[in-house]
Chains A and B, each alone.
Chain A
Amino acid sequence: MDYDKLFQTIVNAATLGSTYALIALGYTIVYGILKLLNFAHGDVFMVGAYVGFGILTLFGGALDPSISIWLVLILMTIAAMVACAVLGVVIERFAYRPLRSAPRIAPLISALGVSFFLSYSVQLLFGAQQRTYDSFNWDGGKLFEPAITIGSFTISWLRVITIVASIVLMLALWYLVSRTRTGKAMRATSIDLDAAAMMGIDIDKVIRFAFVLAGALAGAAGVLFALRTYLVPSMGFTPGLFAFTAAVIGGIGSIPGAMLGGILLGTVEALTVTYVTEWIGIPVGLSNLVIFSLLIVFLLIRPQGILGRPDIKKV
């Protein structure tokens, strides 16, 4: 048994899964309240990555930053979260709110339109070429040096930062939703929007806040993801798709479900690429076939997702 390979797979799963969870939370928060699938969410994640790139450039770039690169990373993350939170509010105000009473297909199409608008706008502003945070050269390569060593196996600072930051953000969200008045209002609105309004809850404020949270999480995910990959205007599509899948697996509308779904999907993806495709003798390039086949089977057995509630039909 190659234990190094197994431990690395677990770390890969945790890294991937935490990114998917952060993005999936955005899908599920918005769906829980508005019953709207915000297809532009993957592109909000992409905008977050580019905001991070802008901040990095503002402070001199990876090779010669004017302040500590670690401080730059914190500023990149905060800026991305703020920018994407604002973007979320703007999208809600102009693309979704006017269609609140329209048939459900209308805001869905509007979401797709926003998605295209965001990716092509970024392409217009930044160009189509690949960009990177050049994280390999940060502080002489420190980000990729071992932070934790277990025997011959090491976990780099990059992985530790990604996983810890994701956990902190998820815990902050949990606290906000379960222990604050605003969170209570959000939960009430997600159960019954009309009843919540009749109880005096400012629905517009709750919805705005939901988009703020979703955007902030997506922005942070964008920076953390781009740290280990790269940036192109189309980068939001695949992680967005996987995160949406994770939200559905976890139970769309359920916050713990989105977290669980993200971790689970990251684990399935990592295991499939590293082990399963080899075991069943198919090319690793077909790993998505395995992943989405499992998804279909899972949804046939439990269509509401792991922690989702089955639709109750009132008679």
Chain B
Amino acid sequence: MKRRALIAAALGTLVAASLAASASADPQAGARSEAAAVSCRGTINIGNLTVLTGPAAFLGQSQQSWAELAAKRVGAQLGLRARVIGFDTTLDPAVALTAAQRLVGNRSVIATIGPATSGGVAATSRTLADARVVHVTPSATAAALTKGGSPTATGFFYRIVADDSVQGTGQAKYAIDRLNADKATVFDAQEPYSVGLANTVERYLERRNVTVQRLSVTNSTSDFSSFVTRIPSDTDVVFTPFQVAANANQIAVLLKEQGKRAVVFGGDGTVDPAFKVPGSYVSNFAPDLASIPGRAAILNAWRRDNPGRTPDVFGPPAYGAVQSILYAVKRACAGKSSVERINVKRKMKSGPIPNWILGGSFRYSSKTNDPLNGGFWLYQVQANGSLKQIGRL
């Protein structure tokens, strides 16, 4: 009886303490964290909400390395001392939200690049916007983030790469016009990026009277044999808009094993050494940096900072995202000694960004926070596993 009373008293104390804590919680705490000013002469901390661990870690690790390079080079060009702090979102939107909350609570972080994934943006944009944190993604391509009746991202979200309405339509058009496809299978992995891109591809194919089969898997599906068995042997193309490149590769391998002739198209999520069946196609929102004149110095600088690693097409847009933020910070700092998060937001579209990493200069669209003339580039996997740039979609 005494023991029960003690337990009841302890529980009651706990409940009372919780209620008291929530009652005294400052509703303005989130807003206050955004009001903190950062010295323009001090270190400008930029966050990087990206996939640093898990099956898509190649993406985040590449973005982090290029973002750090941009902080060093572009910061020096602009007379700013900048640093990039990584926050791991994995592929799980719930983890992305936790990472965003940590970022927001760090008052020294003035803005962030990322989140890297469309699911991550959808999960975190409100939290970041409430704290007035500008977030510039170098890789989240879901069109619904900025387009349609009710965009899923907020006004603090910016994108420096084209979205999937360009990618999906471009891939489907190429498959029909260049490969004469009249029967297709479209996969999706039941998450925002994949479903959005798959929907765009399917809609365009159906508009052009292509017979479409839609198959849905998950990122945790490990054996695709039975799914590939469902694909008719007279299918011409298979679209695999996955974030896990090895899944797309397995489908391409299994098609050959089962004697099916379909060609596989992967999205930007499958631009990875793990996707290597010769003859397959991938598209990406950035061209090969080596194909852009005048980029040798940046490539060499990256190689010096990252010995033993090979540059890929995901990293340079992260460099561009940092460029975008640092130019906004520079403009916000003009004539001032400190800058707040909201000031960065106000200067994001105040002028072009010259000497853009991906060539020429960069501007945002006046209607959305997407790039003015973004595009996708198509690559084909060669016999040695390397990617050959085919052209702009």
Contact = CB atoms under 8 A, between A and B. Distances in A.
A15 B274 contact: no
A187 interface: no
Interface stretch (B37-45, B54-62, B116-124, B167-175): B54-62
Interface stretch (A5-13, A67-75, A89-97, A167-175): A5-13
A229 B228 CA distance: 13
Contact of A285 (B217, B244, B259): B217
B230 interface: yes
20 contacts: A8-B258, A12-B225, A127-B57, A128-B55, A130-B58, A144-B253, A144-B256, A228-B250, A229-B246, A230-B246, A230-B250, A232-B246, A238-B221, A270-B226, A273-B226, A273-B230, A274-B229, A284-B215, A284-B217, A285-B190
Contact of A283 (B216, B222, B253): B216
B57 A274 contact: no
Given A130-B272, A228-B250, A274 B230 contact: yes
Contacts of B250: 228-230
Closest 10 CB pairs of A and B: A285-B216, A273-B226, A230-B246, A128-B57, A130-B246, A12-B225, A144-B257, A128-B53, A130-B274, A8-B229
Contacts of A59: none
A8 B233 CA distance: 12
A229 B259 CA distance: 18
Interface string B201-235: 00000000000001111101111011101100100
Given A156-B257, A274-B230, A228 B245 contact: no
B272 to A, nearest CB: 7
A136 B229 contact: no
Given A136-B277, A230-B250, A285-B217, A128 B226 contact: no
**Size band of the B side of the interface?**
35 or more
B249 interface: yes
A234 interface: yes
Interface residues on A, range: 35 or more
A247 interface: no
Interface string A271-291: 001100010000111100000
Contact of B246 (A132, A237, A273): A132
B55 A154 contact: no
Contact of A12 (B226, B245, B272): B226
A43 interface: no
A129 interface: yes
Interface string A105-133: 00000000000000000010001111110
A285 B215 contact: yes
Listed residue (A158, A228, A278) with the most chain B CB atoms within 10 angstroms of its CB: A228
Contacts of A286: 216
A235 interface: yes
A235 B249 CA distance: 16
A284 B277 CA distance: 25
Contacts of A9: 226, 229
A67 to B, nearest CB: 23
